[in-house]
Amino acid sequence: MTERRAIATGDHVELHYRVLLADDTEVENSGEQAVSLIVGSTDLPEVVAQALVGKNSGERFRIEISGSDGVFGVYDPQNTQVIAREKFSERVQPDLGALVEFELPDGESIAGHVVGISDDGVSVDFNHSTDWARLRLRDCNCCNRQAQRRTAR
């Protein structure tokens, strides 16, 4: 029988997760494919890495993340842009405060909040606002933890 050890910094883990906004709107889901990562790597926000440490393989848990956790970056005024009204489809009419999504030329999606509407166009803020960037990682489940920890030399 193998001994289950708690996850530690440097461990390789596979993680299934769902990301939800404060109003329970799901914005991301790992789906059937687990995400493989190293706990404590720079690819993983510190608040998430800290929450993983001490968990056991198969354990389900939640992580609450707010704008004050520093996960969402620094506000950049250049990330607010005026977009011509004709760029919006008939199905998606911009309302003040609405979350709108656009597809970039490389196929990646980007979302922003409508912060202004005028005759010139629609002002969309693509910064992660601390007002709406309160996320919950729910139904997190670490699996297939590899006990290979990096060793200091």
List per-residue pLDDT tens for the chain, 153 residues long: 555 678 888 888 888 888 777 777 777 788 888 788 888 887 777 888 888 888 887 788 888 877 666 666 677 889 999 999 888 877 677 889 888 888 888 988 888 889 999 988 999 998 875 544 455 555 566 654 454 444 444
Residues 6+ apart with CB under 8 A from 65: 45, 47, 48, 71, 133, 134, 135, 136, 137
Q: What is the pLDDT of residue 116?
A: 94
For 45, the token pair is 């926000």
**Residue 152 included in any domain:** no
Smallest Cα–Cα separation from 71: which of 139, 130, 142?
Answer: 130
The kind and range of the H/E element at 124 are strand 122-125
Give the 3-state secondary structure of residue 91: coil
At which residue do the structure tokens 């670490």 appear?
Answer: 142
CATH code, domain carrying 113: 2.40.10.330
Q: Is 23 exposed, middle or buried (0-12, 13-18, 19+ CB in 10 A)?
A: exposed
| Alpha carbons 6 and 17: distance in angstroms, whole number | 19
Domain count, the chain: 2
**CATH code where residue 63 lies:** 3.10.50.40
Residue 7, in any domain of the structure: no
Give the per-residue pLDDT at 41.
83
Are residues 64 and 86 located together in one domain of the fold? Answer: no
Q: Is residue 112 part of a domain?
A: yes
Residue 12: C-alpha distances to residues 36, 93, 112 (Å): 7, 44, 33
Burial of 13 (0-12, 13-18, 19+ CB in 10 A): buried
Q: What is the pTM of this model?
A: 0.55
Q: CA-to-CA distance for 93 and 78, rounded, in angstroms? A: 23
- Is residue 100 one of the residues assigned to a domain? yes
